[in-house]
Amino acid sequence: MNVYAETALMFVKAFAVGGAICTVAQIVINCTKLTSGKILVFFMLAGVALEAFGVYQYVVDFAGAGATVPISGFGYLLARGAMRGAESGLFGALTGALSAASAGVTAAVLFSFIFALIFKPRSKKN
């Protein structure tokens, strides 16, 4: 298989898995009265649980960014960091999750600050 076909297949797999995760989220939004915060926590904990059972790593290996970009990927990242940190003891388990997710959290805070300086916040008008 040439490099273009491999790249196209990688994009298709990422889009299919990421789209499937988003489809499940949309079905949960449409069929339940759960708030968006509860749905976010549910998906993050689903990523943690799937990583604890050793399933999410296979999904990441198959789909790449299609599995790591959604919020379930953040839960996977936290669980993976905690499990790796646990090899060095209890303190490592507590700090492993934070060190694994530190780059993403730092980027989110930094970009949020920059955009808060650029744009003027206002409340929604219903």
CA dihedral over 98, 107, 44, 49, signed as positive or negative: negative
> What is the model's pLDDT at position 100?
85
Q: Name every residue whose Cβ is closer than 8 Å to that of residue 13 and which is 6 or more positions away in sequence.
A: 62, 63, 64, 66
In a domain, 104, yes or no: yes
Tokens matching residue 110: 């930094």
The tally of domains found in the chain comes to: 1
Q: Record the pTM.
A: 0.77
In a domain, 125, yes or no: no
Q: pLDDT means per 10 residues in the chain (126 residues)?
A: 89 94 93 91 93 92 90 90 89 86 88 91 72
Structural domain including 95 reads: 3-118
In a domain, 49, yes or no: yes
Is-contact 104 85, C-beta < 8 A?
no
Three-class DSSP category at 69: coil
In a domain, 25, yes or no: yes
In a domain, 124, yes or no: no
